[in-house]
Structures are given as C-alpha cells and as structure tokens.
Homo-oligomer: A and B are copies of this chain.
C-alpha cells in the first residue's frame, strides 16, 4: 500500500525510524557534510553547493529540521541552518547501546 503501519509499533520505534529516515537521502547527507565543513551556514550557500533546485533543497532542509537534525535561525535577509548536537549525541548513544548489546549477547550467532 505504501502506508507504513506506524500504529503497530511503539512511539520510540517510530521516532527512531523517522530519525534514520531523515538521514536516508544523499542530498541530506551532503547538506550535513556541508554544514560540518562550512564556516557559515546560510541556506543560499547550500543551494549553491548542491546540484538540486532551490525548492528541492528547501524541502530537504525542512525534513532535516522536522527530525531535529538541524535548526535554523534568521540571519538578516537569509536563514542560517546548523546541526543540532543534541540529536547527534542521542544518535551516538543509540548506536553505542546497540553495539554494546551485540557484544554482550550472541546476537551475531550466524
């Protein structure tokens, strides 16, 4: 059907999935890499860097923002988008928990 049965899963499972989903597009990875490396964080600079139309990038930024991966603040005429460390720390913890669990159990029995 194309519709995810979100109601069948826990809030936490759904939220985790949404976070990963937001990271699951090369353009959004490219945006993150740009923000990591850039001195400024003006939206227009991102549009200049990526091979996509302005409208498309605006949508990707919206998705990253909804997922809590970036935050934006008005900077005069334009908007400054930056990474949200809190979310990445949460993500880091999540992955570390998993690798720890894998190591302490026999989750890799195959």
Contact = CB atoms under 8 A, between A and B. Distances in A.
* Copies, count: 2
Interface in A92-110: 92, 95-96, 98-99, 101-103, 105-110
A41 B5 contact: no
Interface of A: 4-6, 8-10, 13-14, 16-18, 20-30, 32-33, 35-41, 50-52, 71-73, 80-85, 88-89, 91-92, 95-96, 98-99, 101-103, 105-110
- Tell me if A's interface is mostly helix, strand, loop or mixed: helix
A89 B50 CA distance: 29
A15 to B, nearest CB: 9
Contacts of A106: 39
Contacts of A88: 95, 98-99, 102
A96 B93 CA distance: 10
Nearest to A95: B92
Contacts of A4: 25-27
